[in-house]
Amino acid sequence: METRIVTITNRDWFRGTKVVEVEWKCPTCGEPMGEPKLRRFCEDGEWYDVHVWDNECGHIAKYRHLKIVNG
């Protein structure tokens, strides 16, 4: 099982970001996902860096649909 460690937004507990290990396949079709890269965004005046990526299959994997294995 291929996994990646990425930083994503934290919506469940408190605002900000969290680092998680994710099973690196598309939640929709199971194909491998693209290379993650850091992107900066602003929320309520605070700046965060989170990973974003494109998938060759064309599906968009929302953070809440990722298969988190650790974190």
Contact positions vs Zn ion (CB under 5 A): 26, 28-29, 31, 57, 59
What b/e sequence results for 10-48 when a residue is b if at least 16 CB atoms lie within 10 Å of its CB, and e otherwise? beeeeeebbebebbbbbbeeeeebeebeeeeeeeeeeeb
Strand partners, 68: 22
For the bound state, the minimum distance from the C-beta of residue 26 to Zn ion, rounded and expressed in Å, comes to: 3
For the bound state, the minimum distance from the C-beta of residue 16 to Zn ion, rounded and expressed in Å, comes to: 28
For the bound state, the minimum distance from the C-beta of residue 22 to Zn ion, rounded and expressed in Å, comes to: 14
Which residue's CB is nearer to Zn ion, number 18 or number 27? 27
